[in-house]
Structure 1
């Protein structure tokens, strides 16, 4: 039993040693693409939240961003000026403001996602077809293992 745990930890360390620089490099490249498009990480986070959850009240936006309502309002105002988000006032209570992703914001997210895919496709051209198939199968297995571990509460 000790040998298996040791081997598993050794493989985990090796995987993280190999994946770490790839993830860090891709994160930096993605941040650079966002910067070139004048999309801050906060703007990206908020657009992603709106894309995932749909329209959100401003109070929830502030909570999810981990800031006060005045700060969230300033962030949203800048995003609204760029056409990335839209504010709607509640018809019954004008104090209640809901934020949604605009069509322009959705396009921005799609274009950033596309740039990530293009970068991955470029890297994959340096692998043979069998290597690409093996890599995809291995990553799918790893994802399934994480899903099983998470569902069993293995959050160590």
Structure 2
């Protein structure tokens, strides 16, 4: 029945998310970083430097939570705060060399999806793209 679609889809997404969190937490443990800290580093790797507010928005975290995470990461030597040269009030976070090496090691571990063949990969990607587009369409219609 169509009314059960929400329950079924959310349940699968919850199971996938929980499993991915466990795997990423295990990969991060040896480097003394959390999964969320690894996600921060992955975002910074893609964008070089970001404001805390931009990172918080991207990762769906509150600014206060991300500020606390950033403070711990700064103390651990994974990120540094950089002031905008035009407006010193604007502060960006950027990765340190230590963070780049750590992230390379975390990502260098065996690929989670290495055993998928091309056909399986295409099916997974197709399903994810359909779901992503559908959810984005629904989000826009609710704005």
For 1:35 and 1:88, how far apart are their aligned partners in 2? 27
- Give me the whole-angstrom Cα distance separating, in 2, the residues matched to 1:135 and 1:34: 27
1:38 aligns with 2:38: no
Given the superposition, is the C-alpha separation of residues 137 and 43 from structure 1 closer, same or farther in structure 2, using an over 3 Å criterion? closer
TM-score by length of 2: 0.64
Equivalent residue pairs, number? 138
1:68 to 47, 54, 64: 64
Rg larger in 1 or in 2?
1
CA-CA distance at 1:145 after TM superposition: 1.5
User: Structure 1 residue 116: deviation in Å?
Assistant: 5.5
Kindly state the Cα deviation for residue 89 of structure 1 after the two structures are TM-superposed: 3.0
Q: Return the alpha-carbon distance in structure 1 between the equivalents of residues 47 and 63 of structure 2.
A: 19
Structure 2 unaligned spans of 5+: none
1:86 aligns with 2:84: no
Alignment equivalent of 1:120, drawn from 113, 116, 120: 113
Q: Are the counterparts in 1 of residues 40 and 55 from structure 2 also a CA contact under 8 Å?
A: no
**TM-score (structure 1 length as normaliser):** 0.60
